[in-house]
Amino acid sequence: MVQTPKLAGMPATSRDRVRAFLARSHADRVPINYCANGGIDRRLKAHFGLRADDGEGLRQALGVDFRGVGPAWRGGRLHPEQPGVDVDALWGIHRRWVEHPSGGYHDFCAWPLCEADEAAVAGWALPDPDAYDYGVITGQCERFADYGLHFGGAGNGDILNSTGMLMGMERVYAALAGDDPAWELLATRKLAHDLAVTGRSLAAAGGRIDFVWTGEDLGSQRGPLCSLATWRRILRPWHQQLIDVARAHGAAVMVHSCGASSPFFDDLIAMGAAAIDTLQPDAAGMDALRLKRGWGDRLAFHGGIGTGGVVANGSAAEARAEAERVLAAYMPGGGYAFSPAHALQDDTPVENVLAIYAAAHDAGCYRMAA
């Protein structure tokens, strides 16, 4: 188990660390988060002698400070299973399993609404916010009382990816450039679900949820996926609604975006976002020092540990050095949470993962006098 150094005069719970991070401050060390694909996740659990289904045990072993809470779905399967295809029960997204040398992943294989008109979109089954059990959230908050709690994730409130999974990305980007009432209806229906479930979950938690995690992939490796003007005209008003719901319940907001997302930071700050997630280090304009110097007085940062490069392909010493480099860039003054930029990949050596988390517990400490 990774051990957390104890600093004299600075007792802190995981919740203390997360709340300090959201306030662009710090406690005894940076808060730590975790995200991984199935293959490396199983190997990490085996390393710690944990069952394959013991996600909580793994988070404790790595010293993770964040926990997610949310309602339980009680509405059954909305979309029928199909032979040879993994059909998502609630949304009807179609995937297939693709093997690779270090494991496998689910890849999109069909887009059931790619040619849909408004009538077809209106008739497409989507989950009803009334079919969730929000009562379970109280118990989750009690169980994880000492941790920083969030609701949602990268797909909460997103428009481009979620509609693209059903319609295909070509149609999504054509819709941004032109007029597509069917796409707009799908986006509106999906957002209405997310707004309702987010608001009801926050209400059920009674103020205990520290932040809402929302997202929209706005960048490629080389630059934004759409112009700032297009985003402001079409997508920003939708995103603002979810931010407003979170803040109305006293929760901070962390926005996920892959790729070169920094051109959107000033707008996200104006909208009320407290933190940015992913910080993909090899994307254009996403250098840690540049982001910290440019926006560190107005934004907190979550992520920044690239899941390719030396973390996946280098030695354990090289992986630790990269983690220490990122920590040194983002930590000054607080406002940083240590996390992989994306899910740790299946070809990542276990020793490299252990090295970066050891760095977070060591180099991630704020060493202050007693």
Domain boundaries, the chain: 16-74+115-362
Say if residue 257's pLDDT is above 90: yes
Residue type, 121: V
Quick one: average pLDDT of 314-331? 98
pLDDT digits (tens, 9 = 90+) for 153-163: 999 999 999 99
Whole-structure pTM value: 0.95
Say if residue 325's pLDDT is above 80: yes
pLDDT digits (tens, 9 = 90+) for 195-254: 999 999 999 999 999 999 999 999 999 999 999 999 999 999 999 999 999 999 999 999
pLDDT digits (tens, 9 = 90+) for 347-358: 999 999 999 999
Cβ neighbour number for residue 311 with a 10 Å cutoff: 25
CA distance 78 to 1: 41
Say if residue 113's pLDDT is above 60: yes
CA distance 231 to 182: 19
Pick the range with the lowest mean pLDDT from 5-9, 93-97, 122-126: 5-9
**What is the CB-side half-sphere exposure of residue 6 using CA atoms within 13 A?**
3
Q: Give the pLDDT score at 248.
A: 98
pLDDT digits (tens, 9 = 90+) for 35-87: 999 999 999 999 999 999 999 999 999 999 999 999 999 999 999 999 999 99
CA distance 198 to 212: 8
Question: For 16-74+115-362, CATH number?
Answer: 3.20.20.210
pLDDT digits (tens, 9 = 90+) for 131-180: 999 999 999 999 999 999 999 999 999 999 999 999 999 999 999 999 99
